[in-house]
Chain A
Amino acid sequence: MSGKSKKITKKVLLYVLLGILALIWIIPIFTLVATSLKHKKDFMSGLSLFQLPAEIAWDNFYNAITKGRLITYMKNDLIVSFLKVPLGIFVGSLAAFSMTRLKIKHSTGVFVFFLIGMMLPMQTALVPINMIYSKLGLLNTYFGLFYVYIGFGLSYCILVMRGFMKGIPGDIDEAAYIDGCNKWQLFYKIIFPIAKPAVATLFITDFLSTWNEYLLASVIINDNGLKTVPVGIMTFVGEHGTDYGYLCAGVLVSVIPVMIVYLVFQRYFVEGMAGAVKS
Chain B
Amino acid sequence: MKKGKKSNFGAYAFLIPAAVIYLSVIVVPVFYSLFISLFKWNGVSDREFVGLGNYVNLFTNDPTFLIALKNNLIWIVLTICVTMTVSLGFAVILNKQFRGRTVFRAFFYFPCVIAPIAVAIIWRWIYNPNIGFINQFFKAFGINYKQTWISDPKVSLYAIFIAALWQGIGQPMILFLAGLQSVSPDVLEAATIDGAGSVRKFFSVTCPLMKETFVMVIATLIVAAMKVYDVVQGLTGGGPNNSTQMLATYMYSQTFQYNNVGMGTAVACVMVLMMMVVIVPYISFTAKEK
Enumerate chain A interface residues (CB-CB to B < 8 A): 11, 14-15, 17-18, 21-22, 25-29, 31-32, 35, 48-50, 91-92, 94-95, 97-99, 102-104, 108, 110-112, 114-121, 123-125, 127-129, 132, 147-148, 150-152, 154-156, 158-160, 163-164, 166-167, 182-184, 187, 197-198, 200-201, 204-205, 208, 211-212, 214, 229-230, 233-234, 237, 244, 247-248, 251, 254-255, 258-259, 262-263, 266, 269-270, 272-273, 276-277
Contacts and interface: CB of A to CB of B under 8 A. Distances in A.
B158 interface: no
A123 B255 contact: yes
The winner among B18, B113, B220, B251 for most chain A CB atoms within 10 A is B18
Given A187-B14, A208-B113, A159 B216 contact: yes
Nearest to A199: B178
Contacts of B184: 277
Given A48-B136, A50-B133, A147-B21, A254 B115 contact: yes
What DSSP secondary structure best describes chain B's contact surface? helix
Given A116-B26, A212-B116, A103 B6 contact: yes
B182 A164 contact: yes
B10 A244 contact: no
A233 B117 contact: yes
Nearest to A132: B28
Given A128-B29, A251-B115, A97 B255 contact: no
Contacts, number: 262
28 contacts: A11-B98, A27-B133, A35-B121, A94-B14, A97-B14, A104-B15, A108-B287, A111-B287, A116-B30, A120-B29, A121-B227, A121-B251, A121-B272, A123-B251, A124-B33, A124-B251, A150-B25, A152-B26, A160-B216, A167-B212, A182-B1, A184-B1, A197-B181, A198-B178, A201-B175, A230-B117, A255-B110, A269-B178
A120 B264 CA distance: 13
Contacts of A22: 104, 107-108
Given A121-B271, A123-B251, A102 B14 contact: yes
A254 to B, nearest CB: 7
What DSSP secondary structure best describes chain A's contact surface? helix
A28 B14 contact: no
Given A121-B268, A204-B174, 4 more contacts: A14-B98, A94-B15, A111-B287, A125-B26
B217 to A, nearest CB: 10
A213 to B, nearest CB: 11
Contact of B15 (A98, A125, A234): A98
Nearest to B198: A10
Contact of B14 (A98, A201, A276): A98
Interface of B: 1-4, 6, 8, 10-15, 17-19, 21-22, 24-26, 28-30, 32-33, 43, 90, 93, 96, 98, 102, 104-119, 121-123, 125-126, 128, 131-133, 136, 166, 171, 174-175, 177-178, 181-182, 184, 212-213, 215-216, 219-220, 223, 226-227, 229, 248, 251-252, 255-256, 261, 264-265, 268, 271-272, 275-276, 279-280, 283-284, 287-288
Contact of B212 (A25, A32, A163, A230): A163
A157 B114 CA distance: 22
Contacts of A248: 118, 121
